[in-house]
Structure 1
Amino acid sequence: MNNERAGARLTNPRAERVRKVAALARRAVRTREGLFLAEGPQAVREAVAYRPELVREVYVDPQRCPQLHQAAAEAGLAVYEAAPEVLSAMCDTQAPQGIIAVCEPVDVSLESVLPSAGYVAVLAQVRDPGNAGTVLRGADAAGADAVIFTDSSVDVYNPKVVRSTVGSLFHVPVVVGVELDSVLAQCRAAGVRLLAADGAGDRVLRDSPLQGRHAWVFGNEAWGLPQQVRAQCDEVVRVPIYGQAESLNLAMAATLCLYASADAHHR
């Protein structure tokens, strides 16, 4: 970002490099620069271990994260030691965890994931960063083949989304910015069955056949999936509620659906 050499210790929180890193908390800057921030030991550990080719720079307090400091250096990455006040100025959080990485985008094209996909998650206008990141984390745990963020969904590179994935952003193929109608059409063309997850579904999750290739379509936290979207899907499936809860949180319902898919595919 400017001419400090890797390995130098950064001590000035008002330095130009620090300001440029901190600016990546803003979407417009991320889009312009083609970069995003991964904050905290778990996110950086997974980036270094699984996608080191995407890690542009690492800023670390070596007293707090000595092992990650060493791992990043051994991976041949540009590593800068940073004073706590510098990391505080760079990070989006109020209590930085001692390390931050500047990364290139991880997203891939829809065309690259559909041909071999067994089951995927489609997030249709999902706006809450915590929900979006938790769905991605659940998809990773359930072995999903991709998570697709349609246009009008939250930016997957929002620092809150990245943090809530707890490193899973670097494990699962992610598609961003595709119009929902295009996603549905391309899934149908690829022979991927469309399952709308909705509390008004006619079929209960346990009775839905999930052995074949399919895409779960999850709607907005407040209004769910519009009728015209549900009508384009092959089936509308609901997670049963046996107690008195009015509904399930989106991320909870999505994780249950994806684990049902995992169970069907790994029996």
Structure 2
Amino acid sequence: MYKITSANNPLIKEIKSLSRKKDRWIKKEYIIEGTKPIREAIIEEIKIINILYSQRLFEREEGEKLFNELKDKKNLIELEDSLFQNISSMENSQGVFALANFDALKLKDIKSSKPYIYLDEIQDPGNMGTIIRSSDAFDMGGIIIGKGCVDPFNPKVVRASMSSIFRVDLIFEDNIEIIFKTIKQLGRRILVASLDNSNDINDFVFKNDDIIVIGNEGRGVSKDIKKIADKAIKIPMRGLAESLNAGIASSIIMYELSSQS
């Protein structure tokens, strides 16, 4: 265990670079911040490179408890409070974050016969985090993240997922043709969430290996995907709201799907 006091330290520069998606993906590294997420990351055996803390960690009982659990680890590093605050992405930091590796899974890694969620240009970090969290809660096989989506390893997404990102398989593929050709070859149905010529989810019979497509917050599911979809589904609403945001809508669909299995 050692202490860093200079902003010019190479590790500090590396951590700052992870605010950019390009650098996260070059290094396959991201930041996990907060006592509870770090504890869950350890439980889920996430590949943690370093854990960095400041004296602020000891202001809360759970922080002191976490430190006592980690104090003998060689990858534990103390930072000056001012340096830590300069790096932290949280307004009210708990004084601890971890630098961790992530794996970029591909279509070949789809092994589960459970349903998967395909995201078509989901761009809001809050929606992405909610969808990851709900996928965990309703026991989906994983999430296929298409081209144009917000990076799930963005710090805002990691926080919004409430640690579910450690348990959900994230599949990455930009090429739509490859994605849906592979899905068809696996014999799976493609269901798009859409208001056009759709079946109410309350009356629809889901299959355990369906692929559910959730569209962009503004324009919905793209026309190209709608053309190759097997069915369209929608959430019946009695009120006056025209639509739900992508995070809420996908969560309701996942609940209905899981309740039928």
Q: Same fold per TM (> 0.5)?
A: yes
Question: Structure 1 residues 28-37 or 118-127, which shifts more?
Answer: 28-37
TM-superposed CA distance for 1:45, in Å, is 2.0
Q: Secondary structure at the match of 1:242?
A: coil
1:145-194 deviation line (CA, Å, top 9, x unaligned): 10111122111111111111111110111112332332222111112211
Q: Secondary structure at the match of 1:191?
A: coil
Q: 1:46 aligns with which of 21, 40, 48?
A: 40
Question: Structure 1 residues 174-183 or 18-27, which shifts more?
Answer: 174-183
Which residue of structure 2 aligns with residue 3 of structure 1?
none
Which residue of structure 2 aligns with residue 232 of structure 1?
228
Which residue of structure 1 aligns with residue 2 of structure 2?
8
Q: 1:110 aligns with which of 107, 110, 124?
A: 107
RMSD over aligned Cα atoms: 1.9
Unpaired runs of 5+ residues, structure 1, are 1-6
Instruction: Write the letter of the residue equivalent to 1:230.
Output: K
TM-superposed CA distance for 1:214, in Å, is 0.6
Give the number of aligned pairs.
256
CA contact (8 A) 1:202 1:237 kept: yes
Instruction: Write the letter of the residue equivalent to 1:152.
Output: G
Q: How does 1:15-54 map to 2 (within 5 A)?
A: 15-52=9-46, 54=47
Q: How does 1:221-260 map to 2 (within 5 A)?
A: 221-260=217-256
TM-superposed CA distance for 1:217, in Å, is 0.4
1:53-72 deviation line (CA, Å, top 9, x unaligned): x1111112341412323444
Measured in 1, the distance between the counterparts of 2:242 and 2:80 equals: 48
Asked whether 1:60 is paired with 2:53, we answer yes
TM-superposed CA distance for 1:201, in Å, is 4.2
TM-superposed CA distance for 1:215, in Å, is 0.9
Q: How does 1:1-267 map to 2 (within 5 A)?
A: 7-13=1-7, 15-52=9-46, 54-61=47-54, 62-63=57-58, 64=60, 65-73=63-71, 76=73, 78-113=75-110, 115-265=111-261
1:11-30 deviation line (CA, Å, top 9, x unaligned): 44554422321221111221
TM-superposed CA distance for 1:73, in Å, is 4.9
Q: Secondary structure at the match of 1:207?
A: coil
Measured in 2, the distance between the counterparts of 1:24 and 1:123 equals: 23
Measured in 1, the distance between the counterparts of 2:258 and 2:144 equals: 17
Unpaired runs of 5+ residues, structure 2, are none
Measured in 1, the distance between the counterparts of 2:194 and 2:163 equals: 28
Measured in 2, the distance between the counterparts of 1:177 and 1:200 equals: 26
Instruction: Write the letter of the residue equivalent to 2:84.
Output: L
CA spacing shift, 1:257–1:20, aligned 2, 3 Å: same
Measured in 1, the distance between the counterparts of 2:80 and 2:227 equals: 55
